[in-house]
Amino acid sequence: MGSEAAGLAAYERVAASIREAVATGELAPGARLPGNRDLAQQHGVSLPTLQKAVALLQEEGWLVPRPSVGVYVSDDPPKERPAVTVSDLRRAVIELRAAVSAIEERLDRLEGESNG
């Protein structure tokens, strides 16, 4: 995980770390991941945070759940991270909402100054 992980939410950092392990071959296609509790401990995060990271990686195609068996690295993982993920879209919406709010505040101030 490089400098691009800075500023990411904890689950995104975990997901980036697992993606990197798959991309570098540390986790081979078809390999079984350790249990969620062990993975959470390895990454120093809570169980819900780890589960969110695993769910994201499943959504992106990096991991495949096998009910009653475990979670495995996909036999055909993506070659690279998708250009846009759900997390990226959520972050963009939050940033847009903040920008709109800031613009509305500026307009309110400007209107107050022109009416005052």
- Mean pLDDT for each consecutive 10-residue tract of the chain (116 residues)? 61 92 90 94 96 95 93 86 67 89 93 84
Q: What is the pTM of this model?
A: 0.63
Longest CA–CA separation in the chain, Å? 69
State the burial class of residue 54 (Cβ atoms within 10 Å of its Cβ: 0-12, 13-18, 19+).
buried
Query: What's residue 2's pLDDT?
Result: 44
Distance CA 37, CA 26 (A): 20
